[in-house]
Chain A
Amino acid sequence: MKDQPFSGNNEKKKTLFSMFLVYLIVLGFLFITLQAFGQDRTITGVVTDASDGSTLPGVTVIVKGTNQGTITDIEGVYRIEAGPDATLVFSFIGMVTREIPVDGRSVINVALTPDLVGLDEVVVVGYGTQRKSDLTGAVTTVNAEELQQLSTINVAQALQGRASGVHITQNSGAPGAGMQIRIRGITSISNSDPLFIVDGFPAGIGDIVPSDIESIEILKDASAQAIYGSRAASGVILITTKRGRVGDTRVTFETNVGVQEVWRKLDLPGASDWAIMHMEQYLNDGISLPHPNYMSRQVYEVLQFAAAGNYRGTNWQDEIYRPALQQNHTLTINGGNEKNQFNVAGVYNNQQGIQKNSSLNRIILRTNSDHKIKNWLSAGTNLSFTRNIHMGAVDVSRDALKRNPIAPIYNQEGNWNSPIPDTGPSHPIRRLEHAQYRWPLNHSFSGSAYIDIKPFKDLTFRSQLRYGQSNSEHRRYNPVFWVTSLESNNRTSVTESRGQSYGWTWTNYMTYQKELDQHSIQGTAGTEAQYSYSYTMSSQSFDQPDISSMWWLNAAPELDSAKVSPDRGWPHFPYEETMNSYFLRGNYSYMGKYLMTATVRWDGSSKFARGYKWGMFPSLSLGWNAKREQFLENFDLLSDFKIRGGWGQVGNSQSVGSFQYLTTIVGNQKYVFNGLVVEGQAVDRLGNLEIQWETVEQTNIGIDGSLFRNMLGFTVDYFIRTTRGMLYEMPTPYFAGAAGAQANLASMENRGWDFSLNYRNYERPLKYDIGFNISTYRNKVLKLDDAGGSQEGGLVWHTGQNATFTTAGNEMAFFYLIPVAGIFQNQEEIDNYAYIDRRGNRVPIQPNARPGDLKFVDVNGDGVINNLDRIKAGSPHPDFHFGFNLNLEYRDFYFSTFLQGVYGNDIVNGNPVYNRINRWTPDNPSQTEPWLTQQNLNNNFRLSEYYLEDGSYLRVRNIQLGYNLSERLLAYTGAHRARIYVSFDNIFTFTRYSGPEPEVVNGWYGHPLAPGIDAGVYPQSKIYNLGLSVTF
């Protein structure tokens, strides 16, 4: 075909750019870090675990007040230079940090005592941090190690299965595809996406890779969420990125290279079977072949030839999938002293898709710094820049399933072949090839800064500001081609679109903290203002020649053929939004036993009309650290036990668009005067000035506990979450004459459980930890509107019918299908399947059926099979979803695996029916697969239970085997730490689902009323990955 259009040249540019980037980083590193070591004495010693006397490797040892530090080797031995008056600081995760003055000694052995789990672990909550032991809300923490286990560069994918109550599904297996994240199920009939807060600011996660992240906190209940007010209803995910540390400057280089392939190909009929079946459908109908009306002699001969097994044909799955490379490289430089710390990271991702012309190419530069300027003043910055070229999927998976396998890709002239016989779907390879004519370039930049002022002890004031901007430049060329008259284009065109968005957030808050004997008080008060803007425009021009340098809008031969495209997919109007907020939080703890947290936030939003802009979101939660009561103090089996409960209200303003309250005028209402078309404009959508956010009220009760000296930890939560005032189109009589306005009418409820269990053993030689989490919820729509309305959704395209139904008293969008009672095996069964009409006559219910046809159930007993016979046939909501991980460490080797799955959900396989190999024949009395018939008088493929399948799956997300270089080898290489590993993603998947991919997000562009409908999914890949991580 044609030469590679955009990519060739840019590949070179990209390489140059990334080299330049690495150069800059290295240069920066040289400037920043070369520092001399003092002329001190060498101090050495062994660090042990006080509980069992075993040595502890990996303990950080720092000379207090300097950036000098080291870690203990595998024998727990350390060696450090320090002056006789210095103080050494020993710290290790899970152990209490100790400070020991040198006092002129040269050997200092230290025993560290285990920390009670999480007792002093600090958890990020909104606008501040809290000791984990003081926490009263449902918050789950996912740490950096877990996030980095998979080879993915997608943060959401790294989170999948890691936290109970957080259900993540990948929209598609294409590089850079989005994820659907549901915290404790769906919140609303319109929008259930959580709010992401990155380093204190609402932001997207497209510019962050898992290796940038220090920790993720997921706020699951309203008492934790309420501090984020009107946007928190679907949960809040707080991401904290890595920052500089005190100590030697470290350079870490992480790299992995992998090969991906489609996780499975379906077993589809080959050319011979296909030809046999194609002819069989006519023969079954009593049509002898060839036939002037149905099949020409030429086609018949082709089929005969193929049916005889003379021809292998085209395996379309083999054609559309390819093994694809991915490579990810990250360079991080990290260090600092007591006064200044910094972190610089450069990331390069290059991920090719398993379908041609889908890829993600990305460069990220991040840097942050923290500065202690005075003892009452500190400040810091974050800067990040991202450039990506994201070729999204042109998904042909579904077309490849149905494509005639006899047809070759190209005809004898080398052009696109139009298949004989033509069976419909467009040419998959043509579409993949043409997907190359795209140039989707995106840049984004964000910068933030904070300043902390401590006017006096106990009080801190913080002011922080973030500005973010992103630009997109997308270009697309549409070449001339011809496959069939329906799949052709006779005029070239170029479409260009430019998008720009920017916004800022400014937050000011104060924190007061006071410890008085047994009372501990913390108070936070603050304000926040936000502005955001976005605008996209798109233009099209025609007749550019097929030369890659001419694929520009302005290269059209006649400029007046350029026009602003009336592409309805874009919002033609700028989007603007402002928000202003006030918030308060108070924490009180008595003896660390009795805990209380109260928050309230007021949000004002430009999305709503005057008088409806403001809302208040309160919460209250209580906790009881039972283990600290005297009567449990000596109960050693139990290491920790806390009961907590909370209540709160939060808002779901994400389901409301800006200016949705306005009544809008639309154009293109054409009429004709004097023979010429004139423009007309009319009111189309009615606004509703009273629109407000949806309100979500949640009650949560939870227990955190641990047993056996903290080896076994568990968390259980039960919640009831009610969404009120969900936006729903007001039911409107036809005589109103305009589509109904949206109003806060509907409500729904989720009740559910989240469990997580963790067992860890840090004792050598075999260290291990096992984690398991499982969650379940029940969704119920309480009300749609006052009129008892209902709504269908989830169109299954090739049947023209909707698969889901939503009405009060049921879960949202359950599958509503005609039941199937097997297959008619003989004429007698058809005759016996009758209905007695009013006159007492026996009337066959499926008079047109023949043996081999599906038998549908006449649910309402009216003697005909139609849409009135639908029943609740299945559920897109899983009974539960779960994750399991296991980490083993033996000497220098480690092994880890991670499993994730869902159970009990159904999928409507909305792909066109593609595999009929197990069809009913007199010799194969199938009860599930109907016979072949061209006339299809029984309408076997109407939407029914036939399409419904079990959607449960269990996926081995990752298996990883690694080796940490031993001290000796490290010394030899000069590295500080190094590991090398092989890793396999999605290596096994267990599912009964027959479609290409059981991980199905809402069909039809994520429409909330189309969950679990497989409308053709780009499947996931298996990834074989080799990785290296070195720290100098």
Chain B
Amino acid sequence: MMKKLIYVFSVVLLFVSCTEDFLDLRQQGRLTDQNYFDNDDNAIMFINACYAAIGWDEGIYLGVEQTNHFYEFWYGDILSDDARIGTQPGDRAWLQPLEEWRLLSSDGASKSMWMANYKGLFRINMAILRLPDAEVSSDLKERLLGEAYFLRGYIYFYMVRVFGGVPLFTEPVKPSEYKTTDRASISEVYKLIEKDFKEAIARLPEKSEYPPGDLGRATKGAARAYLARAIMYQIGTDNTNNHSWQSVFDLTEEIINSGEYQLYPNYAAIFEMDGENNSESIFEVQFADNNEGWGVVKAGTTASVFQGNRTMTYHPSYRDEAKEKGEPEGWGFNTPTKEFVNSFEPGDPRRICTAYGDMEVHHGILQRVEEEYSGGTGYYNRKARIDPDFVPTNMKSSPTNIRKFRYADILLMQAEAACYLGNEGIARQRVNEVRARARQATKPKGSIEGRNTYVPYRPDELPDNLLPDITSSGDQLLQDIWKERRVELGMEALRFWDLVRTGRYYDALTKKFPDDPSVRERCIQHSIPVGGGVVNPIPVLPIPISEVVSYGLEQNPGY
């Protein structure tokens, strides 16, 4: 009997003694943060996903919530005097409050941008936290870190322009920080942006130093360019950090001297498919046709179909014929204003490369543009037009890169800096480089029906004194440089912030809405007023209401 008992208990004991290991399982067949960052390949993929975040202007999924679209042109162009929402009244109901400064803090137009960018920042901060200790070869690790710093600077720079000061994180946010976080000041955000771009400059290779397969990654030149832009914006908005135009001049000089960039000879080709990543391209958000429909995680963009020719797509008189001719589908958002179109000098070839109107021929197809289908302007954005030869398999997945920073901008920035610094010779030289290139432009691609090629202008088609060199000085020179920025960089989502940083935005609103002074009034209510370090009033959009109500962030003025 005793033996039996001993047998029984020994079985039990044997069994009891092996438990802790038994309960310690490891997840199989699935990547987790515990088995990640262990080789070069997945470190690269982790950074790729950070880039993906800056292409999310279709809106994102966060948890279960899908957000609205948000394209940079909504803020950069539509808020400015260069463009209207466009399209037909029924299709723009939720954008109208944005253009007229009537946005509510619960509206999606600023919320989705906030959400998407913070999701990107979470990824980037995760990378910056984990990469230093990752088992990744050291050269690659430095470059990837440089890319991460660049992207963090890029996103915070976007956010500070739209919202002013925002919560600032340099590491993934911890639950304990949810309720203790406040918005940083504008200058604090800019400090981090500058620091990030400097970290990126120190680590990133020049454009030419990348292998060809990496075309499109952040470069030393891009980081310098964005640093210069961030400083230039501070000078005209909140200059608590006390920057001078000399830094802008020096940074642009470094870029010019690097020899990495040249103006692309034909202005008309810059925004075509063959102009992607060209010699003057400093930074572009990269897209490719990947046959995808709606959905935010994809390789193509919906930005092109959003801005295409709506008249040709929907007008009963034109749509059938247009389809036959291969005119790409378009929904007609972001349409250039008449006032902007008329601001080009007579014969400036850039006009027709920036805005196209009724009875013009583009990509070999005669274009019909009705005011009713273009938000009353009669023009569409030529720079966002899809070439019918490159129409994607699915219109919602356009392969067109979005040009974010061109060398022409660097030249004009240096011109402006030189002008402020009293070096008018350099200022005039830089502007005139840009104008000289514009003079050589061909007609836009496909200017003859049925032929999708570049056709040069016949001499008799151009005025005698086309785009003469600038010779002015003093304040007139500054005005000329600003005007040059408007026409050279038109419809590239830069105008609004140019107006804000030069203190001209309220007047532009008055001109844009001559019959409705309330727009200007509301915008003033939603601006950070001059005072302290603020040199020009800074209009800002609302912080999402849930962040204010549930997490105690301070709301922007007037919302």
Contacts and interface: CB of A to CB of B under 8 A. Distances in A.
A81 B303 CA distance: 95
Interface stretch (A336-344, A471-479, A568-576, A976-984): A568-576
A683 B25 contact: no
B33 interface: yes
Contacts of B46: 665, 680-682
B49 A671 contact: yes
Contacts of B111: 734
B25 A606 contact: yes
Nearest to A659: B27
Interface string B25-58: 1011111111010000010011111111001000
Interface in B454-489: none
A731 B550 contact: yes
Contacts of B25: 576-578, 606, 658-659
Q: Which of B50, B178, B553 has the most CB of A within 10 A?
A: B178
Interface stretch (A13-21, A455-463, A701-709, A901-909): A455-463
A736 B119 CA distance: 7
Contact of B33 (A572, A604, A683): A683
A669 B48 contact: yes
Given A674-B212, A735-B547, A580 B22 contact: yes
B32 A659 contact: yes
Interface stretch (B8-16, B74-82, B413-421, B495-503): B8-16
Given A664-B31, A670-B297, A680-B52, A736 B122 contact: yes
A676 interface: yes
Contacts of B299: 670-672, 677
Contacts of A683: 33, 122-123, 126
Contacts of A681: 31, 36, 42, 45-46, 48-49
A114 to B, nearest CB: 41
A663 interface: yes
Q: Which of A574, A737, A738 has the most CB of B within 10 A?
A: A737
A461 to B, nearest CB: 5
B115 interface: yes
A678 interface: yes
Contacts, number: 203
B273 to A, nearest CB: 10
B49 A732 contact: no
Measured as residues with beta carbon below 8 angstroms from the partner, the interface class of chain B is 35 or more
A580 B23 contact: yes
Given A453-B4, A677-B299, A737-B119, A578 B52 contact: no
B12 A508 contact: yes
Interface string A594-614: 000000000011100010010
Interface in B144-188: 166-167, 169, 172-173, 175, 178, 181
A455 B12 CA distance: 15
Contacts of A667: 31, 45
Contact of A735 (B5, B118, B212, B276): B118
B19 A604 contact: yes
Interface stretch (B214-222, B247-255, B351-359): B214-222
A497 to B, nearest CB: 16
A749 B8 CA distance: 43
A787 interface: yes
A115 B384 CA distance: 90
B16 A610 contact: no
A318 interface: no
Q: Which of A376, A580, A582 has the most CB of B within 10 A?
A: A580
Given A682-B123, A683-B123, A671 B55 contact: yes
B114 A734 contact: yes
A574 B26 CA distance: 11
Nearest to A737: B122
Contact of B23 (A605, A678, A682): A605
A532 to B, nearest CB: 11
B1 A673 contact: no
A907 to B, nearest CB: 24
A739 interface: yes
Interface string A986-1026: 00000000000000000000000000000000000000000
Contact of B32 (A665, A668, A674, A675): A665
A871 interface: no
Contacts of A730: 175
Contacts of A733: 178, 181, 546-547, 550-551
Interface string B204-243: 0000000011111100000000000000000000000000
Contacts of B123: 682-683, 737
B115 to A, nearest CB: 5
A673 B215 contact: yes
Contacts of B42: 681
A736 B28 contact: no
A595 to B, nearest CB: 29
B287 interface: yes
A667 B551 CA distance: 31
Interface of A: 376, 453, 455-456, 461, 463, 506, 508, 510, 527, 529, 535, 572-574, 576-580, 582, 604-606, 610, 613, 658-659, 662-683, 687, 729-741, 787
Closest 9 CB pairs of A and B: A737-B122, A680-B49, A680-B48, A682-B49, A573-B29, A669-B49, A665-B31, A573-B30, A672-B286
29 contacts: A456-B1, A508-B11, A527-B12, A527-B15, A529-B22, A577-B25, A579-B23, A580-B19, A580-B22, A582-B16, A663-B32, A669-B49, A670-B290, A672-B286, A673-B214, A675-B399, A676-B288, A677-B290, A680-B51, A682-B46, A683-B33, A683-B126, A730-B175, A731-B550, A732-B63, A734-B118, A735-B181, A735-B553, A737-B125
Given A453-B4, A673-B214, A675-B399, 14 more contacts: A606-B25, A662-B27, A663-B32, A671-B52, A672-B286, A676-B213, A679-B48, A680-B48, A680-B50, A681-B49, A687-B33, A732-B175, A735-B114, A735-B181
